[in-house]
Amino acid sequence: MHEVSDISDSETWVIRSTLTERYKEDIELQIADAEIRLRASDRETTSCPVWYWQKDDCHFIIFKTGTRQYRSQFFYRPYQQYGTGVHEYRDITECVVSLLQAQADHDAKERGEI
């Protein structure tokens, strides 16, 4: 079974700082675990630490899938899940900024602004 390293304080600091800069307020950031398949061919799931937060009616999640490896998505309802178009990031800053931008672009498109 693949072992995923724990979340570091510096990774969490990057996410918190980025969220505060984006929203101009403190956002409650939760840390949890999720069982996911790291590769499509995997038969077994792997426990991965995650960061989760909610803003208005949107939920955000970043999965730590390895050392300096991250996946992200946002969703409104379980059947409305969206990503950034990048399967995996090697930089937590790029991951969280891309996730926030993808969600902002999605909202603007839904409102007919782009």
How far apart CA 98 and CA 6 sit, in angstroms, is 22
Q: How many CB atoms lie within 10 A of CB 68?
A: 13
Q: 102-110 contacts: CB < 8 A, separation 24 or more?
A: 102/74, 103/58, 103/60, 103/74, 106/74, 106/82
Cα 2 to Cα 63: distance, rounded to the nearest angstrom: 14
Q: pTM of the entire structure?
A: 0.93
Predicted confidence (pLDDT) per residue in 32-80, tens digit: 999 988 888 888 888 999 999 999 999 999 999 999 999 999 999 988 9
User: Cα-flanking dihedrals φ and ψ of residue 34, to 5°?
Assistant: -135, 150
Measured in degrees and rounded to the nearest 5, phi and psi for residue 23 equal: -100, -10
pLDDT class of 2 with cuts at 50, 70, 90: low
Read off φ and ψ for residue 56, nearest 5 degrees.
55, -125
Res 108: pLDDT: 93
